[in-house]
């Protein structure tokens, strides 16, 4: 199977148009860790239990909460392309709970 690739502009992960059509301004995209679990981006606060810690190696991924496709930020920044790194099931925990917690924090 060919690797699916999202549209992206100028090596910028925030400009991804997911294979499913989702964008930052539509359903949003979430920073995640290498397991696809949304990470907590805040500093010096207690991390909600549902969210993953900011990865110490800064190896970040971008999760599409609509379809569960995950993109690796470093690949996008280096190559300007956005191949799908892997896919998670956004309807089951811990991913589902982490997505909920993420939106609770940002709204
Ligand atoms: Zn998607």
H helices present in 7-86, as ranges:
73-79
Single pTM value for the model: 0.93
Query: How far apart, in whole angstroms, are the C-alpha atoms of residue 78 and residue 94?
Result: 30
Distance 98 CA to ligand 1 centre (A): 17
* Residue that has been written with the tokens 């059509």 in this structure: 21
The contacts of residue 91 (CB under 8 Å, 6+ apart) are none
Distance 44 CA to ligand 1 centre (A): 31
7 and 83 Cβ atoms separated by less than 8 Å: no
Q: Give the pLDDT confidence score for residue 2 in this predicted structure.
A: 77
Distance 12 CA to ligand 1 centre (A): 17
Q: What is the pLDDT of residues 34-58, one digit of tens each?
A: 999 999 987 656 788 999 999 999 9
Distance 14 CA to ligand 1 centre (A): 13
Q: What is the pLDDT of residues 7-27, one digit of tens each?
A: 999 999 999 999 999 999 999
Q: What is the pLDDT of residues 57-77, one digit of tens each?
A: 999 999 999 999 999 999 999
Average pLDDT of the chain, as a whole number: 93
């Amino acid at each position: 199977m060919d690797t699916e690739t999202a549209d992206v502009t100028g090596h910028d992960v925030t400009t991804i148009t997911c294979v499913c059509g989702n964008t930052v301004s539509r359903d949003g995209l979430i920073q995640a860790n290498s397991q696809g679990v949304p990470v907590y981006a805040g500093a010096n606060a207690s991390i909600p239990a549902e969210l993953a810690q900011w990865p110490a190696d800064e190896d970040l991924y971008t999760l599409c909460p609509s379809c569960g496709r995950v993109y690796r930020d470093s690949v996008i920044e280096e190559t300007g392309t956005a191949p799908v790194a892997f896919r998670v099931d956004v309807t089951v925990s811990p991913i589902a709970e982490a997505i909920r917690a993420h939106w609770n924090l940002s709204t």
